[in-house]
Amino acid sequence: MVKKCSFLALALSLAALCGCSSITNLTPSHYARSENGYYRVEAEWRSNQQAIRGDSFQPQVVVGFDKYPMRAIPMVQDRWEAYIPAKGDQNEIVYHYQFDYLKNAFHQPDPDSKQSSEYSLKIVEKK
């Protein structure tokens, strides 16, 4: 019993040190077709990892092989946005988010990255 409790305490300690990060998609699943062909996507980044360098974020939206940089939303913490293009007749955009960043390490910062799940944005005709 003591070994099980020790193991559980060790596992919880490691989890607390490693921390966790999450990316939440805040984009609606449907947009009315825009005249300019660009659609706004938004994500929220959450992390309790102490080693992440906050000034090193390079978030982007990945559509196929194309990457579009995201920018921080002013006056809203941990929110990022980008505009992604769609061809005139395109009815769906499949995308995911990728956050690249640096983590503090002993000698020099280590690069790291987190990707979200894939999402689908449906483009519908205006009524």
Average pLDDT over residues 16-44: 89
Pairing of strands 21-25, 38-47: antiparallel
Which fold does the domain 21-124 belong to in CATH? Immunoglobulin-like (2.60.40)
Structure confidence at residue 13 (pLDDT) = 45
Domain boundaries, the chain: 21-124
Q: Nearest CA to 122 among 96, 86, 98, 97?
A: 86
Could you please report the per-residue DSSP string of 94-127? EEEEEEEEEE--SSSPEEEEEE---EEEEEE---
Average pLDDT estimate for 16-29: 82
pTM of the model: 0.80
pLDDT tens digits, 77-97 = 899 999 999 988 899 999 999
pLDDT of residue 11: 46
Q: pLDDT band for position 3 (50/70/90)?
A: low
Q: What is the mean pLDDT of residues 38-58?
A: 88
